[in-house]
A and B are shown apart, each in its own frame.
Chain A
């Protein structure tokens, strides 16, 4: 009898202990919300592919670590609108029990979600947005910026182009936070290298016809037409630049933010020779190749963009940090993410800095000629590998309050 009582007491205590360990995980489930452009001009860069990547990360993590975490992935379309994005984030955090939001391309939306996440004490692993302000003046103890940013793009592509003699620039800039940040960061690189910026034109997001702007770029006589835009905008501007004889007229295009699916949409005939800076390409090594083949099989044969890879690696590291911190409290997990070194098959070993910036090596690619490409998606060759320490803005130059406080 006594023994029985003892057993049940122990069992009860055990349950309590289990419950208290679980209590750190809100709702007993780690809920990850993938938010991005599911249907518009950026949908192939992130879109449903990012959901596939997040689910792969969850599956791989649970399989590899035998972790007891329960993880759920939900998704939503922010339509590239900051108001839509922040209200989804609010609803997710307040009523749906979402603990972390991943992806979020479109800098204006990302900055809005960044703020909401900070206010609500959750976590934000951004891979899709470019604005370097996310780890600069708007940095947050709840945010990790994984893949790339405007500083990295400007220094990768920008300085390579200036070094090759492109010392006068004219920008076609997407008229929102991202385009402005990219133009600003690239202009600084160009000027620092002794080049000149002759002018720029701010183009509304989602413009179909760039001919008027290309004509302005042409009459500026700049050697380089810098495309501070992304997705469908970049495709349309490159396509029409070929048509208007920009390149034949002696000017060169610099696509500052180009993703693999964009090249697929342009075709190599139009895209060949472009210099591109990216942190991931499927054909880098055995690890990236194997993962990308798996991804393509789950995603209708489409190869991953670097954003998809970022979502995968970001979610993986987040889950690792949740287990290590034994909580899904946003600020604590992000602090743990910064403490733990990162290690995954796609980006290799790296770290998350105090300002939230994830650093890893970055590659300067050149788009292959049609004759060099052996299969669909065989588009890039590596021109240069930029080591992690040089690829991103130095920690003390971003004016991030988290850093200056230290």
Chain B
């Protein structure tokens, strides 16, 4: 059986791969959406923070001997802590100003961070092995699925859905959402709003770093690894609707699938297809697929 001249077996494989790449898009756009939705900051340093996660894993392994599983926990915490510092010292004074200032600041930070790492480690990247427990793979009949990739899908889904749950369905999430609507009022109820916002930024950054650690064994660990990705991820967030958590998750996986299919039918366009979709969505629904029309 064939679909458009491609055997259905090959098609299944391609769809699965699209889903795997979609998990990275989802994880990264989730962090961006959380930060934008709750802080109104367009975090252009997200790609650099993703890269920091991957380098964090590399350095933890080579300097301290901490393996993949430890890094999965420690690297996001460390990178998240740098996020907290950035929020406290640099982003805070910008909240009252236009979005553009936050965007420029974070963009500048990204360039500085990437430049420093390129200077120190070069652009070729560093090797990082797949953890022992996840080496090898399963023969699914229609494709060979590396165990590590299967783990990426599962981990990403769990993280995405639990973040969504916390923000949309719990009391803590309620506070967060309320604080973005009306910080004074929430503060009046005795909740420390500035601290909550700081921690939210730290959490968003930690999500980027987590994606970075997960990417280290399969992509090149190099200073520019986040550079190209961040543009795509922004497109994902725009398509999903700025600030919409579920929108970011669903579009992340969805666009991964569409990109995967483009790689089969017209590979030359695989890096552009997402932007074509973005343009169409912006023309038809300027607030994005899941965004609230204001």
Q: Which of A202-216 contact B (CB under 8 A)?
A: 202-204, 206-209, 211-213, 215-216
A185 to B38, CA, bound (A): 55
> Is A118 close to B, CB under 8 A?
no
A215 to B20, CA, bound (A): 14
Q: Which of A35-94 contact B (CB under 8 A)?
A: 39-45, 47
> Is B13 close to A, CB under 8 A?
yes
Which residue on chain B has the smallest CB distance to residue A302? B122
- B260 and A212: CB pair below 8 A? yes
- B14 and A215: CB pair below 8 A? yes
- A204 and B14: CB pair below 8 A? no
Shortest Cβ distance from residue A168 to the other chain B in the assembled complex, whole angstroms: 18
- B146 and A245: CB pair below 8 A? yes
> Is B124 close to A, CB under 8 A?
yes
Which residue on chain A has the smallest CB distance to residue B225? A208
Shortest Cβ distance from residue A248 to the other chain B in the assembled complex, whole angstroms: 9
Which residue on chain B has the smallest CB distance to residue A270? B127
Q: Given that A202-B267, A215-B10, A236-B219 are known contacts, is A245 also in contact with B123, CB under 8 Å in the complex?
A: no
Which residue on chain B has the smallest CB distance to residue A205? B271
Which residue on chain B has the smallest CB distance to residue A267? B127
Give the total of B residues in contact with A, Cβ under 8 Å. Answer: 40
> Is B118 close to A, CB under 8 A?
yes
- B146 and A43: CB pair below 8 A? no
- Mask, B99-130, CB within 8 Å of A = 1, is 00000000000000001001000111111011
Q: Which of B258-276 contact A (CB under 8 A)?
A: 260, 263-264, 267-268, 270-272
The residue that A266 contacts in the complex, of B127, B149, B264, with Cβ under 8 A, is B127
> Is A218 close to B, CB under 8 A?
yes
- B264 and A261: CB pair below 8 A? no
- B268 and A204: CB pair below 8 A? yes
> Is B200 close to A, CB under 8 A?
no
Shortest Cβ distance from residue A316 to the other chain B in the assembled complex, whole angstroms: 25
> Is A393 close to B, CB under 8 A?
no
- B263 and A213: CB pair below 8 A? yes
A43 to chain B: which residues have CB within 8 Å? 118, 122-123
A11 to B219, CA, bound (A): 68
Would you give 25 A-B contacts (Cβ < 8 Å), ordered by A? A44-B122, A44-B123, A44-B124, A175-B268, A202-B268, A203-B267, A204-B268, A208-B228, A211-B20, A212-B264, A215-B14, A215-B17, A215-B143, A232-B124, A235-B124, A239-B218, A243-B146, A243-B148, A243-B218, A244-B144, A244-B146, A261-B124, A265-B126, A265-B222, A269-B127
Q: Given that A209-B219, A236-B219 are known contacts, is A39 also in contact with B267, CB under 8 Å in the complex?
A: no
Which residue on chain B has the smallest CB distance to residue A233? B220
A245 to B144, CA, bound (A): 7
B228 to chain A: which residues have CB within 8 Å? 206, 208
Q: Please name the 3 residue pairs, one residue from A and one from B, whose CB atoms are nearest each other, closest first.
A: A267-B127, A265-B124, A43-B123
- B268 and A264: CB pair below 8 A? no
B225 to chain A: which residues have CB within 8 Å? 208
Shortest Cβ distance from residue A368 to the other chain B in the assembled complex, whole angstroms: 15
